[in-house]
Structure 1
């Protein structure tokens, strides 16, 4: 845990030192190019903010071309100021082209910051197109209702063997019932008169 904290502290100290030196170099270049007072202090802030905005676009968006473009521009401005103040440039006699670059930097930084902050990321457009494509897909047709299963007829009862003598006797009973009542004999009555089970009575009625 202590080693990790020490490593983090070392990185943080290094970042603070690098930022302070770069900030001072940018201030010196702006001051040498004719930007005095608070304007000279605003230039390093503008460069660092554009650098941070470009780095954020590279980390959080798929549209990396604009992020890389403005990151390189901000890095070149910061790195150029560091190199120029290393004795390669006469700070008391700045060339005209450097004065032009320093004077035009606010417009360039404003344009870059605006494009990075308000441009639509590619991921949002892709998601919108995907949603539109999903809306254009027709809904599948509903499946037809399942046909009810065919009702199988109940199995036929096995035929009950009926003796011929019993059939003759049942015929006599049926004739007697018709003569007495004037109506054909029904199966329950035939069963009661013959004293046979219901399947046997049904089989005898089928022979009549």
Structure 2
């Protein structure tokens, strides 16, 4: 069975806590808080110090937590220094008696604020459903365009500009001759004239060039048809 090990840090914490507790008790008793009230003061100071430190650890740094942590720490350190011989405990000044008497109300206010005040993230109210801001752009087939107001009438899309005339495109004579052979073969096989789409697929050329070739075929009939 393993022997329990003594934690030096824990022992140091117990000793420091006991001494600070005793100093706070002695100062409160010297300030006129006798009986059980003198024992309640160190408990109140230590609890406020722990509450402020816990708030700093759990919710992160904040002005509220740091403020009450410094106040509780100053009360504890002040009692330790005051009872070290720098203050005559038999003749406590009036201002110190006032501070000791006012401490319960101050500690109660600090503990209430630390326990019940929301942090910054909780104070931001969530956006109610259905009130989300409208997007500034809407998706269309051509990309993103700015969204229009609901009261603005929908604009009628302008018709797409007419394609440029393709009959003026330069067409190589060899391509025209080859296209004429393809058109003749299609006519002899199907009995109908070849259409532009079929001609474009057979030649493997862009649509505009196929239109130009078809126009050349119409304007340049075969020699035997002249």
TM norm structure 1: 0.61
Separation of aligned partners in 1, 2:18 and 2:140? 71
69-78 vs 54-63, which deviates more? 54-63
The alpha-carbon deviation at position 100 of structure 1 amounts to: 0.5
**Whose helix fraction is larger, Structure 1's or Structure 2's?**
1
Q: CA, structure 1 residues 36+142, in 2 after alignment: closer, same or farther (shift >3 Å)?
A: same
Q: CA, structure 1 residues 57+159, in 2 after alignment: closer, same or farther (shift >3 Å)?
A: same
SS at 1:159 equivalent:
helix
> Where do 4+ consecutive residues of structure 1 move more than 2 Å?
131-135, 137-144, 156-160
Please give the residue correspondences for 1:1-208 in structure 2 after superposition, counting only pairs within 5 Å: 9-62=7-60, 64-126=62-124, 128-129=125-126, 131=127, 135-138=131-134, 159=189
Q: Which residue of 2 aligns with 1:206?
A: none
Contact 1:61/1:123, CA 8 A, preserved across alignment:
no
The alpha-carbon deviation at position 40 of structure 1 amounts to: 0.3
Separation of aligned partners in 1, 2:94 and 2:130? 58
The alpha-carbon deviation at position 123 of structure 1 amounts to: 1.5
The unaligned stretches of length 5 or more in structure 2 are 142-185, 191-226
SS at 1:67 equivalent:
helix
C-alpha offsets along residues 70-95 of structure 1, whole Å, 9 cap, x if unaligned? 00000000000000010001111111
Tell me which structure has the larger Cα radius of gyration: 1
